[in-house]
């Protein structure tokens, strides 16, 4: 009960999605050995496609560089988006990230190149708070567009809660390191010059 209320409170902190965005970013998820998406990945791709067809944004970034067997997350998401009818020209892949923090960092650069400022981020409901925090820390005006989830028992909810807390702490450390490195590079031009 307390855990469920905590998760709902975190979702409420993130806020609702504005009517329009410049892009939708769908975060990667495990791929089955057969090359098919897990149910969570399929729900994420479907939510991104629904958002695209609802006119939320004119393009979708499939984010995820982790390789599962012979397939990379972003490639699987792209395939599912195309299968749902999203045009190939509207899908961009981000193939380098291995974590939520890296999804935000690498997607932020792609979004800048696309001229996208306001972004709808698609991931599972239990993961959306941390994802939005990472994207905002990377300088992206990010808003939640969560995919539907499945009800979990107390053990599953406790695991997810613990996982998100630990990962949030690790993401925070990574952000602090990135900020420190950026400051060092800006204040010491000899490091970046030939």
Question: Are 147 and 43 within 8 A, CB to CB?
Answer: yes
Question: Please, what is the Cα angle at 166 between 131 and 29, to 5 degrees?
Answer: 45
Range of the domain at 45: 7-150
The two structure tokens encoding residue 29: 């998820």
Rounded Cα distance, 69 and 146, in Å: 27
pLDDT in tens, 16-40: 656 789 999 999 988 898 889 999 8
In-domain check, residue 82: yes
In-domain check, residue 159: no
In-domain check, residue 2: no
Three-class secondary structure assignment of 135-146: HHHCCCEEEECC
Tell me, what CATH number does 104's domain have?
3.40.50.620
pLDDT at 52 (0 to 100): 97
Rounded Cα distance, 42 and 60, in Å: 15
In-domain check, residue 169: no
Domain count, the chain: 1
| pLDDT reading at 12 higher than 50 | no
In-domain check, residue 86: yes
| pLDDT reading at 140 higher than 60 | yes
| Maximum alpha-carbon separation in the chain | 58
In-domain check, residue 192: no
Name the pTM for this structure: 0.75
Residue with tokens 């965005």: 21
In-domain check, residue 162: no
In-domain check, residue 124: yes
Exposure string for 105-133, b = 16+ CB within 10 A, e = fewer: bbbbebbeebebebbbbbbbbbbbbbbbb
């Amino acid at each position: 009960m307390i855990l469920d209320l905590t998760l709902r409170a975190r979702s409420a902190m993130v806020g609702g999605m504005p009517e329009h965005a410049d892009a939708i970013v769908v975060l990667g998820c495990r791929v089955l050995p057969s090359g098919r998406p897990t149910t969570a990945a399929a729900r994420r791709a479907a939510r991104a496609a629904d958002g695209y067809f609802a006119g939320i944004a004119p393009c979708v970034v499939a984010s995820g560089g982790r390789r599962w067997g012979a397939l990379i997350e972003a490639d699987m998401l792209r395939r599912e988006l195309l299968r749902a009818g999203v045009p190939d020209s509207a899908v961009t892949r981000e193939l380098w990230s291995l974590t939520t923090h890296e999804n935000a960092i690498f997607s932020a650069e792609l979004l800048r190149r696309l001229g996208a400022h306001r972004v709808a981020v698609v991931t599972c409901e239990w993961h959306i708070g941390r994802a939005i925090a990472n994207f905002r820390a990377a300088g992206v005006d990010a808003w939640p567009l969560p995919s539907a989830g499945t009800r979990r028992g107390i053990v599953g909810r406790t695991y997810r809660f613990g996982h998100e807390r630990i990962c949030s702490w690790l993401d925070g450390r990574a952000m602090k390191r990135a900020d420190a490195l950026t400051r060092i590079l800006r204040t010491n031009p000899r490091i970046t010059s030939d």
